[in-house]
């Protein structure tokens, strides 16, 4: 266990959103920012999470907080650095909250002692830094147990929950029992969707706010002609081509960036230039069902001509709070290895380097833009930022009819929803889109517009301003 990492955040001007949002919407954002600036003069808003990279929470904070700073509000981000035993326990809580047994371990008094002891020690690092006039957002189960400590310091505490399922069972309930006293210590809780709100909590203290993406980040920015192709060739996913541009992008801090590292690849040959590419980008997590996708390709898509499947995710050793990643990566590799050779040659696995997060994001961007169809075959999904990211890029997305994916995609309008347990339905949706590019483009255009209206960071800034205003009212 080490001292939390205090992240050095860049500052982005919220005015960037003006042309994307249109005048009326942007004026409302500006007014909210002005109010928040006045309210938080001389105070700080903190965020505490458990990883700097890999996964939706890190993504959301990287893409939202620089704009809050740009609006003139002192915003800070601390990342917990705990022992592997703590992260094994919090991954169990994460899985249980998705109604999955995870590693099958207990949530008894010993686990509670580990959880409390760890976070009590972590909380001490904030003494003298976090002041009673500050507001702190604690993200997900990993940070929830800090709530009583930060309340004792006098701060306003908000628990931000990104995960869960709509139909909780015994697993979910036991994880909630484990966490509920800590969560109740917070002044308010924010959930990513209505269906995730815990019935155990006072509804008046619960709010719903969807996550958001940053259209200007290396993950989502428009790429120059041939740049995406050059990035894919640089990481080794495709063969270099004379039409490729340079693998250039703009970094989060505005400086020029360039993709340079190779990915860890498991493939027979690079993806052919004319391949019809179906891609899923995710952490290596069983709940993203990479095995199910391989199975679907092997059985249902086997006869479809020239369809290639790419599963890409972070370099499996790089995500500190996800100890299962390396196991799942190995399982997927093994699964690919036993596929019949004719199928195997169409499956590409990529572990994307995480040394340089902007570079990693740029490669995700290039993959999502190259894909003819983006899939997200999750078995559970709190929200699923990868879906919003692909929709923003006007991709036709086929996603599981569950959780946050079902909220983002309007089936048949802005993408397609399928039963994740039915590989035939998934394959039919993918093949339908590959066979009808005009329809695919129509869905992609509607998807872009839906993200623009609902899931851009600027819209969230105004909502957070409102919540903080309300909490001030309660404190006064």
According to CB under 6 A, which one of 93, 97, 157, 361 is a site residue for ligand UDP? 361
Tell me if 424 sits within 8 A of 373, measured CB to CB: no
Burial class from Cβ neighbours inside 10 Å (0-12, 13-18, 19+) for residue 326 reads middle
According to CB under 6 A, which one of 30, 111, 389, 407 is a site residue for ligand UDP? 389
Q: Of the two residues 264 and 295, which places its CB atom closer to ligand UDP in the complex?
A: 264
Tell me if 399 sits within 8 A of 384, measured CB to CB: yes
Q: Minimum Å distance from CB 357 to ligand UDP?
A: 7
In DSSP terms, 278 is beta-bridged to: 309, 373
According to CB under 6 A, which one of 176, 283, 377, 393 is a site residue for ligand UDP? 283
Please give the angle made by the CA atoms of 375, 370 and 452, to the nearest 5 degrees: 70
Q: Of the two residues 384 and 406, which places its CB atom closer to ligand UDP in the complex?
A: 384
Rule CB under 6 A: say whether 386 interacts with ligand UDP: yes
- Which x/- pattern over 161-200 shows residues binding ligand UDP (rule: CB under 6 A)? ----------------------------------------
According to CB under 6 A, which one of 21, 136, 281, 297 is a site residue for ligand UDP? 281
According to CB under 6 A, which one of 352, 391, 430, 433 is a site residue for ligand UDP? 352
Q: How many CA atoms lie within 13 A of 22 on its CB side?
A: 5
Q: Of the two residues 123 and 371, which places its CB atom closer to ligand UDP in the complex?
A: 371
Q: Of the two residues 223 and 468, which places its CB atom closer to ligand UDP in the complex?
A: 223
Q: Of the two residues 149 and 369, which places its CB atom closer to ligand UDP in the complex?
A: 369
DSSP code per residue over 341-379: HHHHTTEEEEEE--SSHHHHHHHHHHHHHH-SEEEE--S
Spacing of C-alpha 195 from chain mean position:
18
Helices (H) and strands (E) in the chain, counts: 18, 16
Q: Of the two residues 185 and 390, which places its CB atom closer to ligand UDP in the complex?
A: 390
Q: Is the CA virtual torsion 144, 145, 151, 153 positive or negative?
A: negative
Q: Minimum Å distance from CB 168 to ligand UDP?
A: 18
According to CB under 6 A, which one of 119, 189, 293, 385 is a site residue for ligand UDP? 385
Cβ within 8 Å of residue 450, ≥6 positions away: 391, 408, 410, 414
Spacing of C-alpha 124 from chain mean position:
29
According to CB under 6 A, which one of 191, 329, 383, 455 is a site residue for ligand UDP? 383
Q: Minimum Å distance from CB 241 to ligand UDP?
A: 24
According to CB under 6 A, which one of 206, 271, 364, 446 is a site residue for ligand UDP? 364
Tell me if 251 sits within 8 A of 359, measured CB to CB: no
- Using CB under 6 A as the binding rule, the residues of this chain from 213 to 232 that contact ligand UDP are 219
**Sole window of 50-58, 69-77, 236-244, 341-349 interacting with ligand UDP (rule: CB under 6 A):** 50-58
Spacing of C-alpha 433 from chain mean position:
25
- Using CB under 6 A as the binding rule, the residues of this chain from 312 to 331 that contact ligand UDP are 313-314
- Distance in angstroms between the alpha carbons of the first and the last residue of the chain: 38
Tell me if 46 sits within 8 A of 134, measured CB to CB: yes
Nearest to 357 by CA among 7, 70, 2: 7
Cβ within 8 Å of residue 300, ≥6 positions away: 423, 424, 426, 427
Q: Of the two residues 70 and 325, which places its CB atom closer to ligand UDP in the complex?
A: 325
**Sole window of 38-46, 176-184, 383-391, 425-433 interacting with ligand UDP (rule: CB under 6 A):** 383-391
**Sole window of 22-30, 77-85, 107-115, 357-365 interacting with ligand UDP (rule: CB under 6 A):** 357-365
According to CB under 6 A, which one of 25, 30, 59, 289 is a site residue for ligand UDP? 59
d(CA 347, CA 278): 10
Rule CB under 6 A: say whether 360 interacts with ligand UDP: yes
Question: Hey, what long-range contacts does 28-34 have (CB within 8 A, 24 or more apart)?
Answer: 28/462, 29/458, 29/459, 29/461, 29/462, 32/461, 32/462, 32/465, 32/466, 33/71, 33/72, 33/461, 33/462, 33/465
CB nearest ligand UDP: which residue?
Answer: 56
| Count of positions on this chain that bind ligand UDP (CB under 6 A) | 18
Rule CB under 6 A: say whether 257 interacts with ligand UDP: no
Residue ranges in contact with ligand UDP by CB under 6 A: 54-56, 59, 219, 281, 283, 313-314, 352, 360-361, 364, 383-386, 389
């Amino acid at each position: 266990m080490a001292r939390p990492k205090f992240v050095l955040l860049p500052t982005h001007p919220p005015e960037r959103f003006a042309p994307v949002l249109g005048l009326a919407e942007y004026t409302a954002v500006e007014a909210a920012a002005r109010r928040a600036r006045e309210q938080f003069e001389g105070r700080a808003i903190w965020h505490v999470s458990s990883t700097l990279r890999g996964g939706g929470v890190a993504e959301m904070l990287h893409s939202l907080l620089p704009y809050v700073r740009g609006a003139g509000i002192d915003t800070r981000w601390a990342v917990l650095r705990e022992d592997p035993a703590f992260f094994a326990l919090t991954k169990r809580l994460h899985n249980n909250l998705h109604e999955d047994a995870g590693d099958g371990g207990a949530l008894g008094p010993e686990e509670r002692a580990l959880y409390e002891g760890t976070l009590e020690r972590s909380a001490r690092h904030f003494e003298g830094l976090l002041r009673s006039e500050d507001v702190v957002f604690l993200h997900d189960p990993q940070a929830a147990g800090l709530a009583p400590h930060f309340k004792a310091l006098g701060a306003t505490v908000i628990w931000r929950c990104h995960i869960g399922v709509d139909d909780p069972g015994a697993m979910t309930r036991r994880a909630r029992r484990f966490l509920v006293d800590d969560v109740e210590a917070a002044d308010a809780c924010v959930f990513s969707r209505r269906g995730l709100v815990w019935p155990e909590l006072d509804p008046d203290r619960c709010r719903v706010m969807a996550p958001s993406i940053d259209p200007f980040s290396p993950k989502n920015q428009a790429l120059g002609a041939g740049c995406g192709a050059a990035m894919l060739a640089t990481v080794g996913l495709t063969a270099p081509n004379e039409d490729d541009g340079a693998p250039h992008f703009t970094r989060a801090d505005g400086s020029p960036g360039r993709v340079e590292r190779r990915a860890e690849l498991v493939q027979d040959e690079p993806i052919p230039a004319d391949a019809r590419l179906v891609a899923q980008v995710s952490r290596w997590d069983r709940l993203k069902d990479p095995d199910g996708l391989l199975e679907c390709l092997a059985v249902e898509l086997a006869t479809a001509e020239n369809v290639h499947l790419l599963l890409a995710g972070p370099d499996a050793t790089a995500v500190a709070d996800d100890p299962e990643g390396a196991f799942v990566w190995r399982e997927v590799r093994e699964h690919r290895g036993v596929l019949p050779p004719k199928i195997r040659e169409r499956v590409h696995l990529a572990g994307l380097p995480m040394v340089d997060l902007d570079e990693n994001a740029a490669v995700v961007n290039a993959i999502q833009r190259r894909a003819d169809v983006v899939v997200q075959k999750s078995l559970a999904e709190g929200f699923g930022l990868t879906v919003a990211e692909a929709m923003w890029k006007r991709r036709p997305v086929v996603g599981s009819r569950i959780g946050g994916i079902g909220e983002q995609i309007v089936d048949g309008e802005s993408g397609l929803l399928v039963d994740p347990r039915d590989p035939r339905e998934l394959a039919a949706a993918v093949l339908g889109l590959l066979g009808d590019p005009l329809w695919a483009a129509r869905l992609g255009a509607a998807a872009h517009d839906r993200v623009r209206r609902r899931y851009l960071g600027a819209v969230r800034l105004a909502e957070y301003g409102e919540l903080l205003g309300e909490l001030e009212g309660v404190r006064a």
